[in-house]
Homo-oligomer: A and B are copies of this chain.
Amino acid sequence: MASKKRLSSDERRALILTAAIAVFGAKGYVGTTTDDIARAADVSQPYVVRLFGTKEQLFLAALDETLRLLFEAFERGAGAGLDDEIEARMGHEYIGLLTVRGLHQTLSHAFLLGSHPVIGPRARDGFARVWAYLRDLGFPAERAQAFLAQGMMLNTMIGLRLADAAEVDPRITDLFAACFPTEKATVLALAPRVDEPW
């Protein structure tokens, strides 16, 4: 059993944030305990609280990091080309974010916290920034709208953990084929499964 290394505060924070996105994504803001995250990051529960102040601040940090990774991915996808090409590349990047465990679901959970006095405003601002980003990129309103809607659909299918069902339930096979005409295999390969705790 390897003994644990003493890390710098920043390194430890980064590890805990990664764990937080995974666990918050799987169990939601309220459903996640600071101890869940501590165990996922292999540190003690009080230390998580010590580093981030409160569970609420930890969630805000996880949301910020999630949005940072999202815009980073969008930046990679944006660039020269026709609208169709840009949209395809950005969709591809968004699917690629499935390698960040819990990212899509952390977004979904944040977007359901609209009535939370502290998290709600931050979540609304994040969503509005995504919208503004697409529009500033030159997406016409209707296209931006459809692109976002597809993203919410992917989030939902991930949150439902529908991927295993795609292999046994013909309805779900049909659904995946319709949603991801070109990237079905990638999505099925990267999507979290029912039996994964996170």
Contact with B along A147-175 (1 / 0, CB 8 A): 01110110110111110010001011011
**A121 → chain B, closest Cβ, in Å?**
9
22 residue pairs A–B, Cβ–Cβ below 8 Å: A26-B115, A27-B30, A27-B115, A28-B112, A30-B30, A111-B159, A112-B160, A115-B161, A115-B196, A120-B160, A120-B194, A127-B160, A127-B162, A128-B169, A131-B171, A135-B174, A141-B177, A144-B178, A145-B153, A149-B150, A149-B153, A152-B152
Closest to A160 in B: B114
Cβ contact of A141, chosen from B27, B142, B161, B178, cutoff 8 A? B178
Residues of B within 8 A of A31 (CB): 28-31
Closest 3 CB pairs of A and B: A114-B161, A141-B178, A30-B31
Q: How large is the interface on A (under 10, 10 to 19, 20 to 34, 35 or more residues)?
A: 35 or more
User: How many copies of the chain does the oligomer comprise?
Assistant: 2
Interface status of A34 (Cβ within 8 A of chain B) = no
Q: Any chain B CB within 8 A of the CB of A197?
A: yes
Q: Is the CB of B120 within 8 A of A161?
A: yes
Bound state CA distance, A74 and B183, in angstroms? Answer: 30
Candidates B30, B135, B175, B197; contact of A115 at CB < 8 Å: B197
